[in-house]
Structure 1
Amino acid sequence: MIKAENFRQASHMGFFSAIKFMVLVKFNAYKTSIAQMIRQIFSPILYFIFLAQGLGALIPTVTFMGEKVNYKTYVFLGIFAYILVTAFSESIYRTTVDKRYGLLALKLQGGIKPFYYVFGGGIFMEISILIQCLILLAVAMLFGVRVSFPLYLLGILFAIISMYFWRSLAVLISIGIKDYRT
């Protein structure tokens, strides 16, 4: 007979099985929300068009830390940061839903270690962020924003690493709250 405190170790799924499970669960949750997919595809486009193009004609440059910066470039970086913050909020939402309906406990009891939960759940989020960042890059370049590819790739790498920090923090925050409104 397995004791409750030994249940997770006895039912351990293994790294690749757990990661595959978490990615498939997140993908299935994501594909049921068509509105969310549309929002993630069109939000970088619409934000750039309305903020950068719309106001860019009125505001050619912005002074940032003592230097003049092209307004469209400034907005481009702001939208990039917005994509990351939105992913953090989504991570809290998904973990809160998992906790509220008992899915988090089932996953943990079923052999998914907390690290696997954070890592596996983050993979699909990273793919979503990468797609949004590529869409943003394409739109920005279409409207004449000059982007340093090495710095942009470095920014995306930083985003990927920081998203796992934010995802871990989101899991910790979500465990302490009862519903998403909190």
Structure 2
Amino acid sequence: MEISMNTLTTTTRIHSMHRQRLGWTRAFSVMAQLEWQGADLCMPMRWIAAAINPLVYLLFLGVGLSSTLDDPGYLRFLFPGLVVMQASAGISHIVARVVTERRWGLAAYKLQAGVPAGAYFLAMMVPGAVLYLFQVCVIIVAAFAVGLRLSVLAIVVIACVGLVAIWFWQCFGYCLTGLIKDYQTRNFVLSLLTLPLTFSAPVFYSFDSAPALLRAVALCNPLTYQVNVARATMSGSIDLVSIAVTAALTLIVTAVGVISTQRMRTLSFEG
């Protein structure tokens, strides 16, 4: 039986919230603390593990490709894509957490105890967003270490695009859990999504020079449009199509996520 280690703590805190009739802000604070603990963000090893992924991509794959291609500008091309790509990893954490919440009725219990749906929904996104911002900082430091120089404005803008991306992917994963009823299916879906999402988007290659088949697949990947927005912004231009697609998809998954949270009040996957 796979249940998070903080289940007992969660039960105690929710009982306390029910007795005290906490408001939205306090409910969000308590839920965010519970999710922080559930994500093991109190453990240094969790932060070390989060730093390894972007470092490997930039220092090994990025620098290696730059040397192979003999293109000093390749790292500048790669940087915005790499920053945004890290956001897609947020889907793994949110799916793991929400599947447990749905399956064992923990979400319904919290909502029935008086936690506002909006506070619950937003608190679930906190650990992934914090880890993502940490990874962005790691990428920036590593980029400067290998000689890439970026303006403060470019870094801020790309980070903002990345925040939209992490919100989208976490909301997408949140909505996806409505179709996942067991841990085996969860693991299968995550393994099926991770690599295609990462490598079909134009993170490591130019979309314009890609083969027709790869471009067709990339056009079906939301990460493609997020990368295009970040890359265009860094170069000082505006990609209206990518901005429109990214905004529309983000609004859709957010709306579905809110509706899904309301249904959690009475539904669970276990009787």
Q: Which residue of 1 aligns with 2:140?
A: 137
Correspondence for 1:23: 32
Q: CA separation of 1:159/1:114 partners in 2, compared to 1, >3 Å: closer, same or farther?
A: farther
Q: Which of 58, 68, 93 is residue 48 of structure 1 equivalent to? A: 58
Q: Deviations over 1:63-109 (max 9, x none)?
A: xxxxxx82112332232122100012322222112212322222222
Change (3 A) 1:164 1:118: farther
Give the alignment partner of residue 90 of structure 2, picking from 87, 91, 100: 87
Asked if 1:101 is matched to 2:111, the reply is no
1:174: which partner in 2? 177
Aligned residue among 38, 44, 56 for 2:48: 38
Aligned residue number for residue 4 of structure 1: none
Which has the larger share of strand? 1
Q: CA RMSD in A?
A: 2.3
Percent identity between the two aligned chains: 21
- Choose between structure 1 and 2 for higher RCO, CA contacts under 8 A separated by at least 6 residues: 1
Tell me, which stretches of 5 or more residues in structure 2 are unaligned?
Answer: 1-17, 190-271
Runs of 4+ in 1 over 6 A off after TM superposition: none
Structure 2 vs 1, CA of residues 113 and 167 (structure 1 numbering), >3 Å: closer, same or farther?
Answer: farther
| Structure 2 match to 1:122 | 125
Name the amino acid aligned to 1:92: V
Normalising by structure 2, we get a TM-score of 0.55
In structure 2, distance between residues paired with 1:101 and 1:36: 25
TM-score normalized with structure 1 length = 0.78
Contact residue 118 and residue 164 of structure 1 kept, 8 A: no
Distance 2:141 2:25 in 1: 33
Secondary structure, counterpart of 1:31 in structure 2: coil
Q: How does 1:148-163 map to 2 (within 5 A)?
A: 148-163=151-166
